[in-house]
Each structure stands twice: as structure tokens, then as C-alpha cells.
Amino acid sequence: MNQKKWFQIVSIYCIIYTVITWLSSILYLCSGIYEDPSGNWHELDRAMILLIGVAAFELCTKLPVRPMILRYVAAYIPSQLLAFAYVWFTGLREPLARTAYRDIWINFTCLFVLLCLISAAVHVYRKKKGKKEETRNENP
């Protein structure tokens, strides 16, 4: 991978992590909770789960598999299983919430679907843009 691609991956990771952290903080504040009850481990866990998702998405969605939905499924299933494994390992550090697996499934799936939709929209946009440029080049 070239430097531009690495910069893009790191930028996506940082932007998503920042937005998720802001949303989480806003939800806590709206609920009257002024400190994260899970503390610093929660922030590190969030970062690791996001790293799993972004890395899997970037690696697997570039596979030469058609149709595009199969590429996304090929990226989602192993990365979701890895996220479940990470949650299980965090249970060795501290007791898990009763809804830990459900929560990680919902949050991970929503984020992954959002990434897939954005990726598909960019792909369609680039494809249409390429066709417009081909048409312009053919008609001088």
C-alpha cells in the first residue's frame, strides 16, 4: 500500500473514533452521567474494536469477489467473530455486562453497514464519473 492509502485508512479510523466518542459522551451527559463509568479500559476497548472493523473492511473489501455484497459479507463475518473473541477476552479482565455480546453485535454491525453504504456510494459515484469522462473523450 502506498502512503496515500495509509493516510486514508488512518484518517477514517481517527474520524470514526472521534465521532463515536463524541456521541457516547453526549449520550452520557444527556443521561446525567458526567464520567464514563467504564473508565479508560472502555476507551481502549472501543479503539480495538474499531481497529478490527476498519482493518477487516479495508483488507477484505478489496478482494476480487463479485457481487460487491459478497465482498462485504466476506469482510463482516470474520471481523464480527474477531470482535466477539475480543469481548470474550475482556471478560477475563473484568466481568462483562449481561448484554455485552448483543451490544457489540449491534454497534459493530451498524458501523460496518454504514461503512459498506459509504463505500458502495463512492464506488457508484466513481463509476458514473468514469462513464461521463469516457463519453466526453469519445465526443471531441
Q: Give residue 101's pLDDT band: very low, low, confident or very high (50, 70, 90).
A: very high
Comparing 39 with 85, the larger pLDDT belongs to 85
- Residue-range domain boundaries for the chain: 40-138
What local confidence, expressed as pLDDT, does residue 48 receive?
Answer: 92
11 vs 139, which has greater pLDDT? Answer: 11
**Separation of alpha carbons 9 and 6, rounded Å:** 5
**Which residue matches cell numbers 464506488?**
123
Whether the pLDDT of residue 82 is over 90: the answer is yes
* The pTM of the whole model exceeds 0.85: no
pLDDT digits (tens, 9 = 90+) for 102-120: 999 998 998 888 888 888 8
